[in-house]
Amino acid sequence: MSVPYDIDDTRPTQLGLIVLQADETIEQDMRVLMPPDVEYMISRVPSGTSVTPDTLREMAGNLTGAAALLPRGAEMACVAYACTSGTAEIGAGNIADLVQAGVDTPHVTDPVTALIAACQHLGVTRLGLLSPYIESVSDRLRTVLGDAGIDVVDFASFDEPLEERVVRITAQSVINAAQDLGRETELDALFLSCTNLRTLNAIPDIEAVRDMPVLSSNLVLAWHMAQLAQAPLAADLPFRLTIQVSKPVGSSR
């Protein structure tokens, strides 16, 4: 027996997130950064257990398929590819093309595009960079930021290629590494790179000690997705990068 039903076609803001297979952190961070009335939907993209330029570039072949697995009935105000080093290797413009080939969305972003937009918003041109990864991976990111007018004036790394170890690096290790980063030069902000590195709880402590904005891959990505979707971040976040702007800034599309 068929029974009648009604349709409620009202929708909250809906966001898509393409997360690396190896990432254990960003979904937990998004629960903190996004308010409850914003829906974010996850797809996973195959990724290597170790992070090298080659394994990062290999993800390009799977991005369209990962984007196509996001719900077809949703209306994605923005879709983000959640890999900082992968964006530096593949290129933000290429990522936007690959994602939009798989899902209908007006905006595509990524941690590098988001970082550049956040730096422009905050007036940051001189950056201290902390990365978990080996030098060959981090060097490409530094080049991309330099091409965008953001000078990485000091750099430190945990030199860890394995994702399963990166995610186990403690927040206190991040705080310790950031204490002296760039103290011998003039900095506008610090950036903690990698969506899988557990940085969110470390940021308020570092900002208090260093008296400057401290940005992370997941923080800038959530902030930029909110800007592009014209949605708020969660209320009362203890970070300097929570100021809303009046119109979208810095999209890959």
Q: What is the pLDDT of residues 91-139, one digit of tens each?
A: 999 999 999 999 999 999 999 999 999 999 999 999 999 999 988 888 9
Segment 23-40 mean pLDDT:
95
Helices (H), 92-194: 92-100, 111-122, 135-147, 163-166, 171-179
246 has a pLDDT exceeding 50: no
Cα(63)–Cα(45) distance, integer angstroms: 6
Instruction: Read off the tokens for 120.
Output: 């422009």
Cα(187)–Cα(184) distance, integer angstroms: 9
Q: Would you give the distance in Å from CA 99 to the centre of its chain?
A: 15
188 has a pLDDT exceeding 80: yes
Count of C-beta atoms within a 10 Å radius of residue 42: 16
Question: Could you tell me which residues come within 8 angstroms of residue 212 by beta carbon, excluding any fewer than 6 positions away?
Answer: 187, 188, 189, 190
Cα(163)–Cα(85) distance, integer angstroms: 12
Average pLDDT, the chain: 93
Cα(83)–Cα(236) distance, integer angstroms: 26
pLDDT (tens digit per residue) in 150-183: 999 999 999 998 999 999 999 999 999 999 999 9
- Say whether 47 sits in a helix, a strand or coil: coil
Q: Do domains 13-110+219-229 and 113-217 have the same CATH topology?
A: yes
pLDDT of residue 134: 83
Cα(244)–Cα(246) distance, integer angstroms: 7
Cα(88)–Cα(79) distance, integer angstroms: 18
For helices 92-100 and 60-68, give the axis angle rounded to 10 degrees: 40
Instruction: Read off the tokens for 38.
Output: 């914003």
Instruction: Read off the tokens for 47.
Output: 């990724």
Q: Which CATH class is domain 13-110+219-229?
A: alpha beta
pLDDT of residue 54: 87
Question: Exposed e or buried b for every residue in 89-120, given b needs 16+ CB within 10 A?
Answer: bbbbeebbebbbebbebebbbbbbbbbbbbbe
Instruction: Read off the tokens for 106.
Output: 């007006």
Residue pair 222/200 in contact by the 8 Å Cβ criterion? no
Count of C-beta atoms within a 10 Å radius of residue 14: 21
Report pTM.
Answer: 0.94
pLDDT of residue 10: 86
Instruction: Read off the tokens for 89.
Output: 């290797």
pLDDT-based confidence at residue 249 (cuts at 50, 70, 90): low
Q: Where are the domains of the chain?
A: 13-110+219-229, 113-217
Please give the helix or strand (H or E) that residue 234 lies within, else none: none
CATH second-level architecture of 113-217? 3-Layer(aba) Sandwich (3.40)
| Number of helices followed by number of strands (H, E) in the chain | 11, 8
